[in-house]
Amino acid sequence: MPIWSSEIKELKRLYESIKGQSPDLEKELERLTKADDENMILLYSRRCLEVIITDLCECELKRPRQTEPLKGIIDKLHKEGKIPPNIISSMHGLNELSTYGTHPKDFDPEQVKPVLSNLSVIIKWYLKYKETGIDIKAKPDEKISHEIKSNEDVKKSITISRKKLAGLIGGLFGAIVAVFAVLYFSSIIGGDKQTKDIEKSIAVLPFLNESPVDSNKYFINGIMEEVLTNLQKIKDFRVLSRTSTDQYKGQDRPTIPEIAKKLNVNYVVEGSGQKYGNNFVLRVQLITGKNERHLWAKSYDREIKQTTDIINMQSEIAQLIASELKTIITPEEKQLIENVPTTNLTAYDFYQRGREEERKFSLTNLSAFSDFSISSDNPSNIQAIERAKKMYNTALKYDSTFALAYVGLASVYWNKNYYKEYFSENFLDSVLYLAKKALSFDNQLPDAHNLMGMYYGEIGNYSQALEEFDKAVRLNPNDWMAYFEKGDIKSLQIAASLNHGSELPIIMGSLASLYIDAGFIEIANKSFEYLKIIGEPIQYLNFAAYGEHKQGHWEKAIEFSKKVYDIDSTNTNSLVMLGYCYSFIGQFEESLKYYKKYVERQKASGHFDLNATHRIGYAYFKNGYEKEAEYYFNKQIDYCNDLIKSDRPWGQELYTYYDLAGVYAFRGDKDKAYENLRIFNQRQQGEGLWMVHLIKTDPLFNSIRNEPEFQQIVRDVEARYQALHERVRKQLEEQGML
């Protein structure tokens, strides 16, 4: 007789009492009471809990559960006071122990008893809840604290990240330097949680292509990326992005311990393969990062007859690695990992080829982080993105329901048409259509939700954008892009922990933008020093110049930018910074010299950052070129008005109105200057330290600087800065950084 026989007897009694009341629960409970294997008992116990939680999610949280993990829903029910604390405890206990049944491994049979006991408690409470409809919330006098982000905070977080990624407004220095991510990696923040997060941290290195022809590289790369993506779907893992490991291609890469140390991971997956005709051979192994001990390895030699010959192998690798690392894969994760995106082998092959071409486009654009004059208009980018489009369309000819191919087309459309359609009425509507089309065939695609989130952020629907990013994270807990796009402090920290590639500076830059503006310069300076060690010289110098500029240290910013100019006289970041800072210290000839070089470089690249044209106009005016000055001032006015009319979010931000006010004030049109300044002041956004320095010293406002209304606006800006400083100070204290 099993040691849990009394618990089973009690559950049989409950089973008899619920017949006809809850068919789903009745079915799982019947299976549980008839099971004679401890693993199956744990499995059906968990399924009983899933039935109850799914119902509570719909009844109490007013939404379907979909694929969200049980723990997340239990936490939400607890946070919102929907379930008594004792029931919450039983739910957590059952959920944690019963996972041994969903992914069998060694455990103590004694652990079955508390699972069954907890299930009995939960079912008894649930039956009472269903029968009487009583209020199941916590007692009124039990205070439950929530941290609710206001709509304005959501708006700020999303727009900050989108601005950095697209590089349209403030594009000249979109990649601002790091703050919190650096501290995260160096254990300055994170504490016990950090140790837990990196315990099962994995880097998947590029697989070596040993095929007789290089044209099969896309196939080996595709397998590597799917193995990585499958591992990313397991919440207990921290899996770095592909761009984090792209630097380690080829056989001449550093040793495994060196790579693991640099990437801050404990495990490394490496592989090699070759494809010849319809056959392929693949070898994959899991290695400890610290001492290069081989934990697991497996070889595959298969003929490709159908897509499942590839997809099943990819999912098996992820599950075997999870088993080796004693990680429980939830049923939801298993479903995501084993999903077959298409049964058409030809469609899948064209999709893999398209993704490889799109990746060439993405990698080329990453270099633009050091110089934004590099654009998607250069020939190699155009060719790659056009080839990707052709491959995705061909894939859809063979399978018109292939959701991933629609996601690929949506991404291609975004990359091709973002700038072209920015002022159009139907701005990127095709992206939304294609992403929705993809989700209509497969509603578990994080990349589709990311694209939809980015789209909604661009049109100003911030709450919907955040909802889409949250969906992406639920489907892929290691999706750095979704965390980055969410833009809040915690999400950006997570994004930085998941991406050690070329995007890392821009991720950390969003954090720096918050903390430098909040006046915590010492923390920012630590980041600059870190970047000096790991970054490219030009990258570090540009970031350092920008940091000094934000503090109003014009001479120091010039010093850093001149060093960039000495290395690369065509770098647009340094050219515009030199033009800007020389103007603020009154050296107008030097200012105009660098602005002219900047304009030449912009024209050569095919893109022109219109956001700085009023500063160029001011430099021309101070050098006696009034006609040229008027041209650039008018260009700035037209640009700002186009932004406002387009109803794009950036056009409604306070800085658009600030720039308009500056031009009108300089021209002596006080009425229009104050009209725009009042709108600027009414926006009530949390301006940072840089805006305090700017509005106090901006020469465009010299004609009205001493007037009472302007001085009141300056005081309002200072007050908002102080409020921002205080909010961030509290967050820093909570993180143990102050």
Q: Which domains does the chain have, with CATH numbers?
A: 5-132 (1.20.120), 155-184+347-374+399-498 (1.25.40.10), 201-326 (3.40.50.10610), 526-734 (1.25.40.10)
Q: Which residues are registered as beta bridge partners of 78? A: none
Mean pLDDT, residues 232-246 taken together: 94
Q: Looking at per-residue confidence, does 380 or 340 come out higher?
A: 340
In this structure, what token pair is assigned to residue 339? Answer: 């999903």
Identify the top-confidence range among 104-113, 165-174, 384-393. 384-393
**CA dist list (Å): 149 to 96, 153, 160, 310, 489:** 30, 6, 16, 44, 12
CA distance 27 to 371: 62
- Contact (CB, 8 A) for 482 and 473: yes
pLDDT of the residue at 105 = 55
In whole angstroms, give the CA distance from residue 173 to residue 177. Answer: 10
What's the whole-number mean pLDDT along residues 350-369? Answer: 70
Across 126-135, 205-214, 618-627, 679-688, least confident range: 126-135
**At residue 442, does pLDDT exceed 90?**
yes
Model pLDDT for residues 492-533, shown as the tens digit of each residue: 889 989 998 888 877 777 777 778 888 988 888 877 776 676
Q: What is the pLDDT of residue 459?
A: 82
State residue 7's pLDDT score.
86
Name 290's Cβ contacts closer than 8 Å, sequence gap at least 6.
257, 260, 266
> Residue 610: what pLDDT?
66
Residue 685 has pLDDT above 70, yes or no: no
* Residue 618 token pair: 């001011």
Closest CA to 226 of 145, 340, 119, 123: 340
Report the interhelical angle of 345-366 vs 307-324 (nearest 10°).
Answer: 60
Cβ contact 205:258 at 8 Å? no
Q: What sign has the CA pseudo-torsion 458, 460, 466, 467?
A: negative
Mean pLDDT, range 24-35, rounded to an integer: 87
Number of C-beta neighbours around residue 252 at 10 A: 6
Task: Write the CA distances from 253 to 216, 271, 455, integer angstroms.
Answer: 21, 13, 38
Q: How far is residue 544's CA from residue 557's CA, in Å, rounded to a whole number? A: 7
pLDDT tens digits, residue range 287-320? 999 999 999 999 999 999 999 999 999 999 999 9
Distance CA 687, CA 732 (A): 18
The answer to whether the CB of 406 falls within 8 A of the CB of 441 is: yes
Predicted local distance difference test score (pLDDT) of residue 536: 72
| pLDDT surpasses 90 at 452 | yes
Radius of gyration of the chain (CA): 29
pLDDT digits (tens, 9 = 90+) for 640-654: 888 888 766 655 565
Buried/exposed code over 605-639 (b: 16+ C-beta within 10 A; e: otherwise): bebbbbbbbbbbbbbbbbeeeeebbeebbebbbeb
Name, of 168-172, 353-357, 371-375, 648-652, the range with top average pLDDT: 353-357
Burial group, residue 663, by CB count within 10 angstroms (0-12, 13-18, 19+): buried
User: What is the 3 state secondary structure string of 109-124?
Assistant: HHHHHHHHHHHHHHHH
**Mean pLDDT for the stretch of residues 460-482:** 94
What pLDDT does residue 135 have?
Answer: 42
Residue 197 has pLDDT above 60, yes or no: no
Question: What is the DSSP code string of 530-542?
Answer: HHHHHS-HHHHHH
Q: DSSP state, 328?
A: P
What's the pTM value of the predicted model, to 2 decimals?
0.68
Least confident of 46-50, 532-536, 672-676: 532-536
pLDDT in tens, 563-616: 999 999 999 999 999 999 999 999 999 999 999 999 998 888 766 666 789 999
201: three-class secondary structure by DSSP: strand
Answer yes or no: is pLDDT of 77 > 90.
no
Angle, CA of 205, 211 and 214, to the nearest 5°: 85
Range in 129-133, 221-225, 343-347 with the lowest mean pLDDT? 129-133
What pLDDT, in 10s, does the model give residues 261-293? 999 999 999 999 998 888 999 999 999 999 999
**Judging by DSSP bridges, how do beta strands 201-204 and 267-276 pair with one another?**
parallel
Q: What is the mean pLDDT of the chain?
A: 83
Q: Determine the Cα–Cα distance for residues 679 and 186; give it in Å rounded to an integer.
A: 43
The whole-number pLDDT of residue 229 equals 95
What integer pLDDT is reported at residue 185 of this predicted model? 43
Q: Check pLDDT > 70 for residue 176.
A: no
Residue with tokens 């490496």: 270
Q: What pLDDT, on the 0 to 100 scale, is given for residue 271?
A: 93
- Quote the pLDDT of residue 134: 44
The answer to whether the beta carbons of residues 513 and 162 sit under 8 Å apart is no
What pLDDT, on the 0 to 100 scale, is given for residue 649?
61
Q: What is the pLDDT of residue 650?
A: 59
Give the C-alpha distances (Å, rounded to integers) separating 683 from 568, 593, 719: 39, 36, 14
Nearest to 300 by CA among 314, 290, 318: 314
